[in-house]
Amino acid sequence: MNVGIVGASGYSGEVLVKLLLAHPHVSLTAVTSRQHAGKPLSAVIPALRGTRADTLAFSNSDAAELAARDDISLWFLALPHGTAADFAKALVPAGRRVIDLSADFRVADLATYEKYYGKHHAPELLPQARFVLPELTAPTWKSEIKLAAAPGCYPTSTLVPLAPLLAAGVVAQAGIVVNSFSGVSGAGKKAEEAYLYVERAESAKAYGLVKHRHLAEIEEQLSRCAGSPVIVQFNPHLAPMRRGIITTITAPAAAGASIESLYSAWRAAYAGRPFVTILPSGETPDSAYVTGTNRVDISAVHDARTGNFVITSAVDNLVKGASGQAVQIMNLWCDFPETAGLL
């Protein structure tokens, strides 16, 4: 099957290129970038020298021209929010499947989206889109949509450990605090003083407090799992590492809940799911061990003194938090093995 990527020169776009070039069931046929149009992929992504990237060149990003290509049945959008919606408006009506890595279609409620991101560029497509976190979204999505929204990195690290516990009534809905630490690649490729090596080395700080954009996605999905509104305190931090996310969640235990019932809920939710690793209580996940993988490692302990569960997770923000998850969605959507190209 031929696939294409719109906007493949960012960090997640580079990872997506590498995954698709090596995928056993697809052929990466088109890669677009206005900045690098005409250049071979390997000239922009030197790690791919000596591969098919030497002969596959970036093309210009024109939405109408891409929609007219009937040789490509699925497109990945590795673009900023707003811009992604502009391309989806051309590709979806043309009958192309679209997997969007931006935030444009992750939030179903238009008012919530516009509160966090500003005016939506394609609100008419929201009913045709679906937020897809493969381990949590009901599998009926595969036959119901033409546009899949791949979750964000912070939400993946939060939803995978927390959503099944809310659905099972193991944790209380009020008083949940989420602290996350992200590598600097999560900010994308941009030349800003705050992201210079001398600014970030030996330094960690909180940012985006109270109203980080991913909060909209996190709360909407948790509320669906719980069956009623869930409000969390989300505290993101920038950590001095290139990639990876570590998340620590403090959640009050529901009446009668124990660490055994928590782990039972996890095992029931993730039995047979290849990309969720449940670590023993007390063994906390380490970002170093998920880097380069499409895996989420999760663990929890119960604090008898406070009555809280302390839940931890680790993901690679560029793989399971972005491009790997997008490929996982494609695999399920197209009936490929779920792990194809990801192990």
Catalytic residues: 153
Calpha distance 63→77 (Å, rounded): 11
Handedness of CA 209, 214, 216, 219 (dihedral sign): negative
| C-alpha 220, offset from chain centre | 15
Is residue 245 within 8 Å of 317, Cβ to Cβ?
A: yes
The span from the first CA to the last CA of the chain, in angstroms, equals 20
Long-range contact pairs involving 134-139 (C-beta distance under 8 Å, separation at least 24): 134/273, 134/275, 134/325, 134/328, 134/329, 134/332, 134/338, 135/160, 135/269, 135/270, 135/273, 135/275, 135/276, 136/160, 136/163, 136/164, 136/221, 136/225, 136/269, 139/332
